[in-house]
A and B are shown apart, each in its own frame.
Chain A
Amino acid sequence: MAERQMMLTRQGWSDALLELGEKNPNVVVLDADLAKSTLTINFKNKYPKRFFDMGIAEQNMINTAGGLSLTGLIPFVSTYGVFVSGRAWEQIRTSICYGQLNVKLGGAHGGISVGQDGATHQALEEIAIMRVIPNMTVLVPSDYYETKKAVLAAAEINGPVYIRFGREKVPVVTNEESKFEVGKANIMKEGNDVTIIACGTMVAESLDASEELAKEGINAEVINLHTIKPIDKETLINSVKKTGCLVTAEEHQMAGGMGSAVFEVLMQDHPVPAEMVGINDTFGESGQPRELMEKYGITSKEIIEQAKEVLNRKT
């Protein structure tokens, strides 16, 4: 498997916020006592008057951001994904999304790879509960560079955006120059036999899987679906038209997540044999990130298995 540089996605969040702070005086940042962990501390240190500590009170943090946006500011809200998306879900639904307020939500510690903090802190549901709300844009960048670009792109959108990123260093699969456009999936590797659609850390796992599959003569197409909503139907449909089968891979509950979003599109427009790799209706636990990903079945190994499974079902 390819040796890849390892970098923090939350560093991408932090670096992009600093860049936005420099570029746009209306950008402000709010955090719920986790600035050192989400790395918004760097923005706080550089722009103390544009940073608001909101304490451990996420519902108020979300709607404070809503209020700030109504005065022309562009608030970026930061805390762990479980808290931002879950604790304040109705605030996000009714105030932010119904009101189309220009608020950006950064959900750190997405996925089971959060590791030792255990189930309470491993956000595995945010994609589902964020994408179901009208007017919301949902971004799940795959690595440091893509997180940075996603945050910069979010600032250009006039409306609510949710950006998910993780805790641990993850393999770098894009680079400074890679193209990133909200709503446009990136084909990371072209192939004809099977389509693998992934987001977040699972893009790297999918690329690893495709290398292994290649050794067995299977040519997989790997798509990085960094924008879950609005979903890039065209790229997805064109790929499965070519390959005729599909595996989705995400560090999230299978129910309602990225895979579900893909299935919704393809079941309507171009059904093909398909399988999901993801968390199967369970909570996580404490452990090292790799141990957990292996136990809960979200590594390249499962992607390879499912790719062979759908290939077998292809007529």
Chain B
Amino acid sequence: MTYPKILTDKERLLKAIQMRRDIVEMVHSAQSGHPGGSLSSVEILITLYYEFLKHDSDNPKWPERDRMIFCKAHITPAIYSILARTGYFDPATLTTFRHFGSDLQGHPYRFHPKGLEMSGGSLGQNLSITQGIALGLKTQGKSNRVYGLSSEGDLQEGNSWEAIMSAAHYRLDNLILFVDYNKLQIDGNCEDVMGVAPLDKKFESFNWHVLRVKDGHNFKQIRKAIQKALTLTGKPTVIICDTIKGKGISYMENKAEWHGKAPNDEQLAQAMKDLDEQEKNVNKKYS
């Protein structure tokens, strides 16, 4: 399957619900993993993988593909879901996530499943990888775009700011970085644990183009920001998206405790009920 392609509003919303089902089921099956930050990134990933990234799930190493690197790589439930749903592997295997012998490691291992560009999981490292790829492509005169997905936690790492400095130094305008800014981390509110605000001013002063998406779960706002980013030149662009950790599952929303916790059977049933309800509403709206 080749991308990008255009989705309808209804398709986008249904795909988001499907991804959220995958995420909750995977974490439930493994009885471990990271649902909160996976759920907050769903709309960003759907927009990128379906509607902007140039890629071909039948030819994962296609040289002309755009590159997507996960700096917040612990959100493997979301990563594996989007890769499976865009055709890189059979979604039926998603619930082998974190099980012994599975291709779906707890944190990404770049050799499997197909469609992964890089391993990850140690925060702070992959922003350097992302801008290294952008630098390599630019140096070789290639026009592929490079996208990254970071978070407030990833931006607490010093290595991230070294990368932000060097991406600007090398004027990597082929690089677009998303920040899934849900403002919660394992130990609580980001601003209580170690404040990163104001992120926009920080990136500006590091000489990046800065775009804000006020609702990181609004497809239209995300699309508009990427379209704008694609017109910007001379420096790298960051798109800071305000998101809700645990988005879409009633009892997980805005709760730091759901950073890295698995739902029990009862909680799984409640989550599926929430998502069924959302699906019903979408179908009703577009009937």
Contacts and interface: CB of A to CB of B under 8 A. Distances in A.
Interface of A: 28, 49-50, 52, 54-55, 57, 59-60, 62-73, 90-91, 94-95, 98-99
Q: Kindly name the residue among B118, B128, B139, B162 whose own CB sees the greatest number of chain A CB atoms within 10 A.
A: B128
B165 A57 contact: yes
B143 to A, nearest CB: 13
Contacts of B132: 63-68, 70
A70 B159 contact: no
Contact of A55 (B118, B119, B136, B166): B166
A99 B166 contact: no
24 contacts: A28-B139, A50-B139, A52-B135, A57-B166, A59-B125, A60-B128, A60-B159, A60-B162, A60-B163, A63-B132, A63-B163, A66-B128, A66-B132, A67-B129, A67-B130, A67-B133, A68-B132, A71-B133, A72-B136, A90-B125, A91-B128, A94-B125, A95-B119, A98-B119
Contacts of B67: 70
A28 B163 CA distance: 19
Contacts, number: 96
Interface centre among A50, A71, A91 (most CB of B within 10 A): A71
Chain A contact surface mostly: helix
A62 B135 CA distance: 13
Chain B contact surface mostly:
helix
A266 B258 CA distance: 51
Given A57-B162, A67-B130, A95-B125, 11 more contacts: A57-B166, A63-B128, A63-B163, A67-B136, A68-B133, A70-B129, A70-B136, A71-B140, A72-B140, A91-B128, A95-B119
Nearest to B134: A67
Interface residues of B, number: 32
Contacts of B139: 28, 49-50, 68, 73
B234 interface: no
Contacts of B158: 59
Nearest to A54: B166
B131 A67 contact: yes
A91 B157 CA distance: 13
Contacts of B118: 70, 95, 99
